[in-house]
Amino acid sequence: MSQENSKPKLVAPLPAAGSPSDTQCDDVDAGLWSRVCETAATRVVLKSPVLANVVVLALWVLVWQLGRLVEYTEHASVWFPVAGLTFAVLLLEGAYLLPGLFGGCVLMTIWVGRKYGVALTDLQLAYAGMLFALAHIGSYALGARALRLLVMRGTRELPLLVIGFLLIAAAGSLLATATGVAALVFGGMMPAADAATVWLPYWIGDMAGVIVLAPFFGAALVTLNPHKTASLRASFNLNHQRATSQFKYKLLLTLTLLAASMWLAHATRSPNSAFAVFFLVIPYMWIASTESAFCNVVSVALGSVAIALLVHVFELKEFSMVYQFAINVIAANSLFALALPTLLADNIALRRIADTDSLTQAASRAHLEQRVRLDMLRCRMQGEALTMILFDIDNFKRINDGFGHAVGDRALKHACNIAQHALRPTDLLGRLGGDEFVAVLPGIDRVAARAIAERIRIQLATSTLEGGPALTASFGIAEMGVGDTCESLMESADKALYKAKQDGRNRVA
Ligand SMILES: Nc1nc2c(ncn2[C@@H]2O[C@H](COP(=O)(O)OP(=O)(O)OP(=O)(O)O)[C@@H](O)[C@H]2O)c(=O)[nH]1
């Protein structure tokens, strides 16, 4: 397995841009998992479907026990993490791991039946387990299929993929609840009368398991078996696995705030205090918008485990529903926040395209006019001068006609470069169109502007354009007067430029 493939990848859709490139990064999330993926044992398991099924079965049982740790009433846990594992396995691996999942369902049903002293024989418990397996696996197989279809149909927009995933998680877990509760009743594991009280916590717990842990387990599976999931991988941008050096502190702060909010509910025994956990959305959004998608998924998974465990530690079982909803809301928000860096980066890129002339990299006309208005306002308020230099390459049409458009383009870039170097960083050079440029000089009066224009004119006239003719340009200057607007100032500069052309070109007027 290559180093590239060995890094953890996320199955949930990832942002294409906005990586935490502005902060120092370390591979905190890549190292350990890479080593696990590269071991000989992992390679043997991947090659053998039988061994892979045994591993899935063992993992399924282990994750089930993790959910049971936080069970607050019979058949209802704060969350049901195994739902996320089933969903991820079915989404990324498909049918060959069904025996492992099926075996896990049957095994745990027998175990639960014995633990609660259900009056069924082992054979009857196995039958009940099979009914549960059909309900659980069937529902999540449908959900995984729906998500696959969404991706294969070419949905690429991150917010749409997240909405799709959340809706599928909600619908899949509702189906798993309806069929699962029916399976428990028909299998003799639960009295029919309990169904009315069990279904809601069952649903929310399952949904939390899918939303929080399917991306986490998915990330692990994609890394373990990259070829198997090549088509899905290709549908997602899986670039950002690195954590910033502050990630661990952000995580520590978030978990501390989480524990503090839950301690508050413990100390006051008030439902109002229990709702304080929803404030955790803020630090989670902070992590989601500043860290990689993988770190986001890890922090949500860790936070959810912490919530589930602290419900027990602080004896908050009467508020279990609040915490179940909190896990779902925080995870859903964090998944949506994955889109933030992408949207911000897209926004910056689009603004740059709109503000810049693509050939010369000078400011676009729209951007220039916007800046002129702002600079005029500011200079007026501060009692400063503002001058505009409008210039146009002389006989540019002849350059195009005689040397070709490509040389004409290079001449435009060349003139733009020379002007750019003669200006201060606070000045703005823009291209009005064709071979016409404008420089806006805040705080500069007509006399100083004339000197700058002369400098540009002489440098252009004495420079050489490789493979092209000698270049000259004509310049028109206008200083802002009382009552001038952007348009009237440009008009004055244009009149001056016209005069320079009339007077014989290659001059400043
Ligand atoms: N190579 C190139 N040519 C362009 C571009 N945009 C406009 N032009 C050409 O620039 C020329 C502008 O010529 P005119 O405005 O007629 O003026 P001129 O030939 O410079 O003459 P004077 O301004 O009177 O000195 C036209 O031939 C346009 O086709 C461009 O992006 N690249």
Is 393 touching ligand 1 by the criterion CB < 6 Å?
Answer: yes
Is 315 touching ligand 1 by the criterion CB < 6 Å?
Answer: no
The tens digit of pLDDT for each residue in 186-219 reads: 998 888 998 898 888 889 889 989 998 888 888 7
Element (H, E) at 109: helix 98-115
Is 401 touching ligand 1 by the criterion CB < 6 Å?
Answer: no
Confidence of residue 454 (pLDDT cuts 50, 70, 90): very high
**pTM for the full model?**
0.64
Q: What is the mean pLDDT of residues 408-436?
A: 94
The least confident of 39-43, 96-100, 286-290, 379-383 is 39-43
Atom of ligand 1 nearest to the CA of 409: 1
Is 309 in contact with 79 (CB distance < 8 Å)? no
State the complex-level ipTM.
0.94
Candidate from 365, 395, 397, 497 with most ligand 1 atoms within 8 A of CB, to mutate: 397
- SS3 letters for 306-321? HHHHHHHHCCCHHHHH
Query: 386 CA distance to ligand 1 centroid (A)?
Result: 28
Look at ligand 1, atom 27, and give the residue with the nearest C-alpha.
Answer: 397
Look at ligand 1, atom 24, and give the residue with the nearest C-alpha.
Answer: 395
Query: 95 CA distance to ligand 1 centroid (A)?
Result: 65
Name the CA radius of gyration of the chain, rounded.
33
Per cent of the chain over pLDDT 70 is 84
What sections of 314-445 are H helices per DSSP?
320-337, 339-355, 365-381, 396-403, 405-422
Look at ligand 1, atom 7, and give the residue with the nearest C-alpha.
Answer: 434
What is the secondary structure of 157-174 as a DSSP string? -HHHHHHHHHHHHHHHHH
Q: Comparing C-alpha atoms, which of 91, 88, 94 is closest to residue 220?
A: 88
Is 413 touching ligand 1 by the criterion CB < 6 Å?
Answer: no
Is 394 touching ligand 1 by the criterion CB < 6 Å?
Answer: yes
Atom of ligand 1 nearest to the CA of 406: 1
Q: What is the mean pLDDT of residues 85-114?
A: 91
End-to-end alpha-carbon separation of the chain, Å?
69
What integer pLDDT is reported at residue 19 of this predicted model? 38
Is 271 touching ligand 1 by the criterion CB < 6 Å?
Answer: no
Is 395 touching ligand 1 by the criterion CB < 6 Å?
Answer: yes
Can you tell me the distance from the alpha carbon of 58 to that of 65, in angstroms, rounded to the nearest whole number? 11
Element (H, E) at 392: strand 386-393
Q: Comparing C-alpha atoms, which of 381, 338, 38 is closest to residue 166?
A: 338
More reliable by pLDDT, 80 or 254: 254
**Residue 162's beta-bridge partner residues?**
none
Can you tell me the distance from the alpha carbon of 332 to that of 163, in angstroms, rounded to the nearest whole number? 9
Q: Across all residues in the chain, what is the average pLDDT?
A: 84
Question: Is the C-alpha dihedral spanning 417, 422, 425, 426 positive or negative?
Answer: negative
Which tokens is 371 given? 């800046």
Is 359 touching ligand 1 by the criterion CB < 6 Å?
Answer: yes
What integer pLDDT is reported at residue 20 of this predicted model? 37
What integer pLDDT is reported at residue 189 of this predicted model? 86
Element (H, E) at 431: strand 428-433
Can you tell me the distance from the alpha carbon of 274 to that of 314, in angstroms, rounded to the nearest whole number? 11
Is 477 touching ligand 1 by the criterion CB < 6 Å?
Answer: no
What integer pLDDT is reported at residue 414 of this predicted model? 95
Query: 396 CA distance to ligand 1 centroid (A)?
Result: 5
Which tokens is 501 given? 């052309």
Distances (CA, A) of 313 to 22, 103, 170, 194: 39, 32, 28, 27
The one-character DSSP state at 286 is H
Is 396 touching ligand 1 by the criterion CB < 6 Å?
Answer: yes
Is 435 touching ligand 1 by the criterion CB < 6 Å?
Answer: yes
User: Left, alpha or beta for 231 (phi > 0: left; psi -120 to 50: alpha)?
Assistant: alpha
Is 408 touching ligand 1 by the criterion CB < 6 Å?
Answer: yes
Is 307 in contact with 257 (CB distance < 8 Å)? no
Q: What is the mean pLDDT of residues 256-260?
A: 95
Is 506 touching ligand 1 by the criterion CB < 6 Å?
Answer: no
Which residue segments constitute the domains of the chain, with CATH numbers given? Answer: 25-346 (no CATH), 358-502 (3.30.70.270)
Is 72 touching ligand 1 by the criterion CB < 6 Å?
Answer: no
Q: What is the mean pLDDT of residues 288-311?
A: 84
